[in-house]
Chains A and B, each alone.
Chain A
Amino acid sequence: MKKIRHYLKPYALRMSAGLLIKAIGTIAELALPLVLAYLLDDGENAVVKDAFSLFLLGGAMLALALIALFGNIIANRMASKVARDSIERIRNDLFTKTLQLSARQTDSFTIPTLISRLSSDTYNVHNMLGMMQRLGVRVPIMLFGGLFLAFFVEPVLTLILIAVLPVMLAIVILIARKGIVYYGKLQRSVDGMVRKVRDDYTGVRVIKALSRTETEAQSFRETAGKVAEDETKAGLITGMSNPVVNLLLNLGMVAVVLIGALRVRGGEMSPGKIVAFVSYFTLILNAAMTVSRLFVTLAKGTASGKRICEVLNSTYVEQESFAKPQNADAHIAFENVTFAFSDAIALNDVSFFVRRGEKLGIIGATGSGKSTIVQLLLRFYAVNSGGVFVDGQNVNEADISKLREKFGIVFQNDFIMRGTVEENVDFCRNLPRENILRALQTAQANFVAEKGLDFPLEAHGVNLSGGQKQRILIARALAGDPDILILDDSSSALDYKTDAALRAAIAREYGDTTVLYIAQRVSSVRGCDKILVLDGGRAVGFGSHAKLCEQCGIYRDICASQGGDVYD
C-alpha cells in the first residue's frame, strides 16, 4: 500500500486543497442544525423573538446550505480528478511492469491473475481513491464534528449518542466483515457454476453423442443450488445491517426524547433543544451508516492495492552466466546447457550448433524440451549452467532488445490480435508494404489476396481457420527479414502439401536466414541440414536425416511410427 500512497504524492497539494474545501462544506452542513436549535428555542434565552431575526437566521441557514452545496461539488470534482490521474498512472505503470516481468515472474503470477490485477483490481483501487476522498473526510467530520457540536448544544443528551455510536459502528463493521467472507464463498461457487457451463459448452458434442443431457442437467442443478444457497447466506448476513442500524438509531432517538423531557422538567434545558438534537441525531447516524459502505470499499480497495503492489514491487535477479563460446563461428550454439523451470529439469546438458543460413530441425515428443530451446535462445529464461550463444555472443551479455530483433518467431499457440491482416503481420514494426506482401506470399497465405490486407481479424483470430492463422503468423515472423527464423510447431494445422510448399518457399525466398523448425512430424524436419532429436530433455541425436536414420534409435522409432519408410 505504500506504493499506492506514493502515487498520490504528486497530488498532495490538490488533494489537501480538495479536502479542505470538503471540510468547509461539511462543517457548513453541520452548522445548520445549530442555527435551528437557536431558532426553535422557546426558553428564557430564546433568540427568536420577532419575524425579522427569524428570517435573518433563515438567511444564515440558506447561506450555510449553499456553502455546503458548492463546497461539496467542487471538492468532489477535485477528488475525481486526483483519482483519475493517479489511477491512470498506476495502470500504465502496472501494464508496463507486466510486460517487463521476467518469464519466471510471469509464470509465478500466471496470466489470468495479471489480467485481473489490471482490470478488477485497478477498478477497486480507483473506486477506493474516489470514495475515500469524498466520504473519508465527510464521514469523520460528520461524526466527530457532530458529536462536538451536539455536546456544545446539550452535553447530557450527547452521552446517548456516545453510547449508541460505538455499538453501531461495531455491528456495522462486524457485518461487513462477515459479509466479505460470505461473498468470497459465493464468488467461489459462482466460479464453479461458470466452470460447469464452460465445460459443457465445449463438450456439447460428446454430451449429445452419449445422450447424457439428463446427467448434466442434474449436476448443474446441484451447482446452481449451491450458488443459490450461498447467495442466501450472504444476503441474510448483509441484510441484517440495515434493520439493526435503523433500530439502534431510532431507539436512540426515543431515548433523546425521553431524557430530554426529563431534563426539561428539571429545568436543565429548553424544549427547542430536543428538536435540534433529533436533527443532529439523524445527521450523525446517517453518516455512521455510510461507514459500512466505506468499510467495504476500503477493504476491497486495500486488498486490490496489495495485489497491484505485489506486481509493481516484484523483483527477480536472473542467474548470471558468462561462459565463453568454444565454437565462435557458429550462428547459434548451445554448449552444455542445463535448465530447470522450477525443480523439474527441462534441458539436460544439451549441445548443438547451427551455421548461418543452415536449417535446423528439432524433433521430439511433447515435453522433451523443444520449446524450452526457443525460450532460452530469446533469453526469456537464463540457463542454470552452460551457455547459449548467438553470433558468438553469450545471450546473457547481449542487449535484450537487440538480441530479439534478430529473430522472427512463431510460437506454439501464438496469438492474433484484433486488427487487420496487415497490422497483424506488421506487428507495430512499421515495415514496408513489400516486405509484408512477400512474407504473406512465402507463407502460402493466398487467401489474403482474396480478402485484402485490410481484412479485419478478430481477437485470437476466431474468424480464421487453424491453418489460416498459422500462415498469418508465419508471415509475421518472415516480414521482419529476420536473421533467425523459428517455427515452433507452427505448421501443424497445414496439410502436407501446403507444408511442403511453405518450406520450399522459405528456402527460396529467405535463403540466408537460419531456420529452426520445431516439429513432431518427421516430414517437417527431414529436409533440414541438421536435426536435433530431444528425448526427456536430453539431446539423443544430432545430424542429418540419413545419419540419424543410421545412428539414432529413437529417431528411427519416430520415423516408423509416422509411417515413413526410413530408407526410401
Chain B
Amino acid sequence: MTDPNRRRKKANGIWFSRHKKKRDAGKVLAQETPKKKSGPLTGGRIGKRAALLRLGKYFLRYKRAVAAALLLSLASNLLALAAPLLSAAAINAVSAKAGVDMAKVIFFCALMAVFYLLSSALSYALTYVMLRLSRNITRKMREEVFEKLLSLPVVFYDTRLAGDILNRITYDVDTVNASLSNDIIQIATSIITVVGSLVGMLLLSPLLTSVFAVILPLTVFVTVRRSKVMRPLFRKRSAKLGELNGYSEEMLSGLCTIRGYGREREIEAQYALHNADAANSYYTADYVGSKVGPTVNFINNLSTVLISVFGGWLFLLDRIRLGDISAFLQYSRKFTGPINEFANIISELQSALAAAERLFGILDEAPEQDPQDALLLPAKVRGEVTFDRVCFSYERGKPILKDVSFSAKKGQTVAIVGPTGAGKTTIVNLLMRFYDPDCGKILLDGVDISQYTRSAVRSVFTMVLQDTWLFEGTIFENIAYGKESATKEEVIAAARAANIDRYIRTLPQGYDTRITDGGANLSKGQKQLLTIARAMVSSAELLILDEATSNVDTRTERLVRDAMALLQRGRTSFVIAHRLSTIENADCILVVQGGEIVERGKHAELLANEGFYSRIYNAQFE
C-alpha cells in the first residue's frame, strides 16, 4: 500500500530525534539553574501494555466512528475478495471446446463491476471516517498535552529542553496517530484478506491450496527475518543521520567563530567523518532493505510458477477449470501481500507505543499543587512581604538559599545584589511561588503565601524580567496581555507611561504591528519598554524587576529607567540588578552571597561599611 502520508512522517521523524542524545553527559556548572535534561520524565515510564490500554480509551471515546470504520473495512474487503470468484465464474463460462456462454459472462462481469465499484466507494468512505477519527484524537491529545504543560510547575520547564517537548507535542502525537489509525485498519484488512483469500483458495481447489502451503513457511521466514535484521539497521541509520545533522547545525551556529579563527579545514574534516558514517549506515540499511522487494516478488513468482504448473497439470487431468486457476492466482497474490506488510505494522506499532509512553509520561506529571482549603485573597492587598528564615535548594545537598530573612513594607523598594549564582533569581522564584521553600515561610501581609492558591499569589505581582518575552501577535495584544480585558485607552496610557507610545506611533501599522519571531524586529530596549508597558497595564500591588536594565543600550536606558521609576511608584518592588547605579535609591539593599544575606541597608550605609557592597561598587571605577 502506498501511503505518502505515512512516508512523510517517517522521514520527518529522523529530523527530530536528534536532540535526544547525550544531553546528560555533563553536570551543570551554574549553581542557580537546575540542570536541563531530556531523559525520562519523572512521571516515569508506564509500560507498553498500560500505554496500549490508555490509547484504547481514546479510541473508545469515538466508539461509533471506530465501529463504522471496522464495518466499512470488512465490507469493502469482502467485496474485493469476492470479485476473483466472480471472474472465475465468468472465465469458466468461456471454453474453446464448449463455446462461450455469453449471457453468463455478461452477468458475472456486470456483477464484478458493481462489486469493485462498491468496494472502492466503501474504501474511500473508510478513509474519510478514519481521517476524521484520527483528526479528533490528535487534536484531543495535543490539547491535553498542552493544557497539562501549562499546569506544570516551572521546575519542569527549567529542567527540560524546549525541543524535547516540541517533539512530543508534534511528532509523537503524529506517530501515535498515524500508525495507530492506519495500523488498526491495516490489521483488520490484513486479517480479512488473509482469511478471505485462504477461504477463496480452498473453495476453488483444496488440492492447489496444499501446493500453495509449501510457500507459506517461506513467507513467514522471510517476514520474521526481515524485521529482525532491519530494525537495528534502521535505528542506526536515523541515529547516525541525527548525529550528522546535529553536527552541522551546531557548527553553522558558530559559523562566524569558525571563519574568524580560520578553522574551516579542520571542521570540514570532522564533518567528512560524520558524513561517511551516516552515508554508510544509510547504505547498509538501504541495500539490506532493498532486498525485500525482490524477495517478496520472488516468492510471489514462485507461487505463480507452482500454481501454474500444478494447476496446468490438474487442468490436463480435467480436474480444474481455467477460470479457477486464474482466480486462484489472484488469491495467492492477495494472500502474500498482508503477510509482508505485517512486519511493517509491528515495527510501526512499536514506535507508536514508545511515542505514546512518552506522551503519557507528560500527562502523568504532577501539576502544581494548591492547598485543598486555600484562603481567599483579601480584596485589598497592602503589599508587605516578609521572608522568614527561608532556605531552598534545587538539588539536594546544594543549598541555594540558607536561612534568609528580610521584610519589605508597603511601597518600599528592596534591591537584591550579588554575584551570579548567589541566589538572587531564586528569591524571585520563591516569591512568585514558581518554587516552594524547603523550610521557613514567606508572608504576604502577615499570611503565609502557601495558604493561598498559586494563581492568587501571582495575581498580586507584576513583573519585568531580563528575558523580554513577547509573543507572536500585535503590539497591542502584547501590552494588553498584562491584564484581562484591558481597554484600548489603558494600553495606550501604559505605553505612554513606558515611553514607547511615540515609537509605536511611528510604525506604519501602529499598535497593530505584528511582533514576529520573539520581537526580532525590535531592539532590546524597545522590547524592554514593551514589557514595562505590559507591567504598567496591570494593577498589581507588588512589582518584580529582574536584572531588567542590564541589556539595554545607553540611549534607551534613560527612557527605561524613567519608566521603571514610574512603575515602582506606589508598588512594593523587588529589584535585581547588576548595575548598582539603578538601585542607589532603594529603601533597602540586600547583598546576597553564597545563599546568605551578608549585608543589608541603604546605599550610603553600605558604602560606609566598606564591606562586599562597597568593594563591588568601587570595582566599576577601577
Contact = CB atoms under 8 A, between A and B. Distances in A.
Interface string B328-344: 01100100000000000
A207 B312 contact: no
Interface string B409-440: 00000000001110000000000101000000
B250 interface: yes
Contact of B94 (A51, A228, A260): A260
Given A99-B264, A414-B257, A564 B36 contact: no
A327 interface: no
In which size bucket is the chain A interface? Answer: 35 or more
Contacts of B471: 199-200, 203
Interface stretch (B288-296, B346-354, B381-389, B400-408): B288-296
B135 interface: yes
18 contacts: A32-B305, A57-B309, A65-B304, A95-B268, A95-B275, A176-B4, A217-B146, A243-B120, A247-B117, A257-B91, A264-B100, A271-B91, A275-B323, A279-B304, A458-B25, A492-B550, A496-B620, A523-B621
Find the residue from B83, B96, B459 having the highest chain A CB count within 10 A: B96
A61 B307 CA distance: 11
Nearest to B582: A563
A457 B27 CA distance: 9
Interface in B4-40: 4-5, 7-8, 11, 14-15, 22-23, 25-33, 35-36
Contacts of B268: 92, 95-96, 99
A227 B146 CA distance: 14
A507 B581 CA distance: 27
B139 interface: yes
Contact of B261 (A66, A258, A290, A404): A404
Contacts of A36: 304, 308
A352 to B, nearest CB: 20
Contacts of A275: 91, 322-323, 325-326, 329
Nearest to B294: A72
Contacts of A292: 2, 4
Contacts of A274: 91, 94, 322, 326
Interface string A392-405: 00000000110011
B455 interface: yes
Interface in B535-587: 538, 550-551, 553-558, 561, 578-582, 584
Nearest to B275: A91
Contacts of B267: 99, 428
A463 B35 contact: yes
B509 interface: no
A407 interface: yes
Contact of A497 (B99, B272, B323, B619): B619
B260 A205 contact: no
B254 interface: yes
Nearest to A77: B287
A239 B131 contact: yes
B316 A72 contact: no
A238 B308 contact: no
B293 A81 contact: no
B96 A296 contact: no
Nearest to A404: B262
Interface in A488-503: 492-500
Contacts of B162: 197-198, 201-202
B469 interface: yes
B61 interface: no
Interface stretch (A37-45, A152-160, A340-348): A37-45
A455 B29 CA distance: 10
A100 B581 CA distance: 45
Contacts of A400: 262
B330 A282 contact: yes
A558 B554 contact: yes
Interface string B273-295: 00110011011001100110111
Contacts of A378: 259-260
Interface in A106-153: 106, 111, 114-115, 118-120, 123-124, 126-127, 130, 134
Given A261-B93, A279-B329, A88 B275 contact: yes
A84 B280 contact: yes
Given A210-B538, A463-B28, A55 B309 contact: yes
A499 B23 CA distance: 30
A380 B256 contact: yes
A166 interface: no
Contacts of B5: 234-235, 238-239
B376 to A, nearest CB: 15
A245 to B, nearest CB: 9
A220 B143 contact: yes
Interface string A188-219: 00100111111111111111111111011100
Nearest to A523: B620
A386 to B, nearest CB: 22
Contact of A272 (B102, B306, B322, B461): B322
Contacts of B523: 366-367
A427 interface: yes
Interface stretch (B122-130, B355-363, B391-399): B122-130
B36 A209 contact: no
A322 interface: no
Contact of B325 (A40, A428, A500): A40
Contact of B87 (A134, A215, A253): A253
B246 interface: yes
Interface stretch (B104-112, B212-220, B224-232, B491-499): B104-112
B436 to A, nearest CB: 14
A271 B2 contact: no
